[in-house]
Chain A
Amino acid sequence: MEERAIRSVIGEQKPIFASAEASVAAAAKLMKRHRIGALLVMKSGRLAGIFTERDALFRVLAEGRDPAKTHLSQVMTLNPRTISPDRPFGHALHLMYEGEFRHVPVVENGQPLGMVSARDALGPDLKQFVADLDTRNHIGEILG
């Protein structure tokens, strides 16, 4: 679970981008269509922030803003923690755990490649983790 490189976790994932000038309504359509919880928000060719479901809830609707007239730049999460694709996935999980967020953009040479989330990565990693534990328990029984 800890060791797999983030590059292999994101695999062939296609990053979903939105412009900082896009409306919240347009962003929500994109998120719904792709069934994702967060978008990478770009400005002048660089990652400026991410827009998450939580931003939609707390910064748009709970604040009474009009989704059609609100730009992502007004409500996105600025300067999110990012991670290099060469880091082990465990580092991303630790970032999420310590920062209490669920999405970490993966950035290489200033270019966003994708996003890791608690969920996306849990599938195969979790299975591997459980398998490792079982093996370790068996070894323990044999040694013990």
Chain B
Amino acid sequence: MKLKDVLAAKGSRVVAVSAKSSVADAIRTMRAEKVGAVLVPDAEGCPVGIFTERDVVGLLADGERDLERLPVEAAMTCSIVVGRLSMSVDEALGLMTERRFRHLPLVEEGKLLGLVSIGDLVKVKLEETAQEAQALRAYISS
């Protein structure tokens, strides 16, 4: 299965915040949207960073207090890996495992098309596994 299919099933909605907005605002957005990560796009809409739960824990650990003043661009993760629609679910999971990240923005020709998370991909694998087990059982009993 390809990331294109995963995106078709989950939808292309991406929650984004501007680089200049405060961390406090980003956190309020994450709570309102019930997401663990928000993308930070540039003027053309291409992601330049991602702000995630892990960054939040980092801020807490560093004793960062004034989150209303701290801009997202100072706290986000900048070196993001992006995926393509033609990438397979296994490839994407392999990347997430090796590089230790959980959110993969999908970009084609400089345009952001969606975001898949490790949760989305594990779900796909579980469904595939369940279907295969069923198919094997049917094959064996036929």
Contact = CB atoms under 8 A, between A and B. Distances in A.
Interface of A: 1-2, 24-25, 28-29, 31-33, 35, 37, 53-54, 56-58, 60-62, 67-68, 90, 93-94, 96-97, 100, 102, 118-119, 122-123, 126, 129-130
B58 A32 contact: yes
Contact of A129 (B28, B31, B125): B125
A1 B102 contact: no
Contacts of A94: 126
B53 A62 contact: no
A1 B128 CA distance: 12
Interface residues of B, number: 30
Contacts of B36: 53-54, 57
What is the predominant secondary structure among interface residues of chain B facing chain A? Answer: helix
5 contacts: A61-B24, A61-B67, A126-B93, A126-B125, A130-B90
Contacts, number: 86
Nearest 10 CB-CB pairings of A with B = A28-B60, A53-B53, A32-B61, A28-B61, A62-B31, A29-B61, A57-B56, A123-B97, A118-B122, A67-B60
B64 to A, nearest CB: 9
Contacts of A129: 125, 129
Contacts of B60: 24-25, 28, 56, 60-61, 67
B54 interface: yes
A94 B24 CA distance: 34
